[in-house]
Amino acid sequence: MKATSKLHKTEQQLLREAQRKRRFETVIHGIFLVLGLVTVGCVLMITVYLIIAGIPAIREIGLVDFLFGKVWASTNQDAKFGILPFILTSVYGTAGAILIGVPVGFFTAVYLAKEAPPKLRGIVEEAVNLLAGIPSVVYGLVGMLILVPGIRNIFHVPDGSSLLAAIIVLAIMILPSIIKVSITGLEAVPKEYEDASLALGATPTETWFKVSVPAAKSGIAAAVVLGVGRAIGEAMAVMMVSGNVANMPHLFESVRFLTTAVASEMSYAGAGLQRQALFSIALVLFLFIMLINATLNFFLKRSKER
């Protein structure tokens, strides 16, 4: 009975079935569209929340006083909210980490991408991946127990918790990103370039540094920018080794970064201006990150175009 009815469907029935099927597909399509848009929604939510929460304190304090004020004394009777020390510390700290981390990462990347035998390369790449996988608090812990006392003893300063300790920890933490992205850039260099250079009589080493590296410069620039982003956004490891006092940056003094400024006061900031000011700091940090992301995308795109 059923079989015959299936065979003898009227035109109308067929039409209805097709319609139902189409509607079903539309619903599924809609569901996936929504899932796809969740990502965009999250970015919008984060942006909107930071702006809404960050603007009031900046208005009350005044943009110039907030960004360029040299004193942060949020708990004083006569509270002062100047975040220049945090901004400068973040900038100096990141610059320092880049200064140490980029050369080491760059030369390691050239070695791994060009010179290392495949087996050794596999092992070292695993090691680099592990470096990326170690939680930041572990870096902080090791830094607290090795770097901080080490700096105190070597440089004879009263407290080793300092900008220098943070710079060293950050330099180590950005190594994996720099190495991995540089390798990707170096591997994208067409083999013909290198062959041509070798055929002209350059040694392999000269070829790598005078042909491959310049050809991969967008990729390497992307690696550096990614490192900058990682360094400026790191909170926990830095919090554990930098001492966390709102000084103007000095290599051997306790300092506070943008990230740690947010993290360290959030736990006891009540309502009111102090708390709102923390959101404003986060907004400043967010703007820095957006700027860095835009730069990163620029370099990544250029390196892809090649």
Partner 1 sequence: MQTKTFSKERKRYIGLMKTLMAVSAVLTCALVAFLIIYVMYKGLPNLSWELLTTEPSYLADKIGIYPDILNTIYIVLATLVVVLPLGVGAAIYLTEYAQNKKLVAVIEYAAETLSGIPSIIYGLVGMMFFCEFLGMGTCLKAGSLTLVIMNLPTILRTTQESLKTVPQSYREGAFGLGAGKWRVIRTVVFPGCVDGIITGCILAVGRILGETAALLYTAGFAHDAYNLIDGLGESGATLTVALYVYAKEQGEFEVAFAIASILMMLALLINLSATLVGKYYKKRREV
Pick from 181, 240, 246, 277 the residue near partner 1 by CB under 8 A.
Answer: 240
Phi/psi at 250 (5° precision): -150, 140
Considering only residues 14, 15, 19, 31, which one is a binding residue for partner 1 as defined by CB under 8 A? 31
**Which pair of structure tokens corresponds to residue 226?**
């990614």
Please identify, among the stretches 4-12, 29-37, 60-68, 75-83, the one whose residues bind partner 1 according to the rule CB under 8 A.
29-37
Element (H, E) at 201: none
**Would you say 196 or 266 has its CB closer to partner 1?**
266
CB of 203 to partner 1, least distance (A): 6
Contact segment (CB under 8 A) with partner 1 among 78-86, 152-160, 183-191, 281-289 equals 281-289
Contact yes or no for 165/147 (Cβ under 8 A): yes
State the nearest-atom distance from the C-beta of 232 to partner 1, in Å. Answer: 7
41/62 with CB nearer partner 1: 41
- Between CA 193 and CA 217 the distance in angstroms is 14
Question: 106: closest CA among 205, 180, 197?
Answer: 180
Amino acid letter, residue 289: I
CB atoms within 10 A of CB 45: 10
267 binds partner 1 (CB under 8 A): yes
Alpha-carbon Rg for the chain in angstroms: 27
Place of tokens 């062959």: 195
Q: Which of 46, 95, 200, 287 binds partner 1 (CB under 8 A)?
A: 46
Single-letter amino acid, residue 96: G
Among positions 70-99, residues that touch partner 1 (CB under 8 A) are none
Least distance in Å: CB of 253 to partner 1?
A: 19
Binding mask 118-157 for partner 1 (x = CB under 8 A): ------x-xxxxxx-xxxxxx-xxx-xxx-----------
**Segment 150-169, which members bind partner 1 (CB under 8 A)?**
none
How many residues touch partner 1 under the rule CB under 8 A: the total is 83
Rounded to the nearest 10 degrees, the angle between the axes of helix 163-187 and helix 217-233 is 150
Pick the binder of partner 1 from 55, 84, 157, 236 (CB under 8 A).
236
Helix ranges (DSSP H) in 188-266: 191-199, 204-207, 213-215, 217-233, 236-241, 258-266
- The span of 187-195, 216-224, 229-237, 245-253 binding partner 1 (CB under 8 A) equals 229-237
Q: How far apart are CA 257 and CA 137, in angstroms?
A: 16
Could you give the string, one character per residue 187-226, with x where binding to partner 1 holds by CB under 8 A and - elsewhere? ----------------x-xx-xx-----------------
Q: How many CB atoms lie within 10 A of CB 11?
A: 7
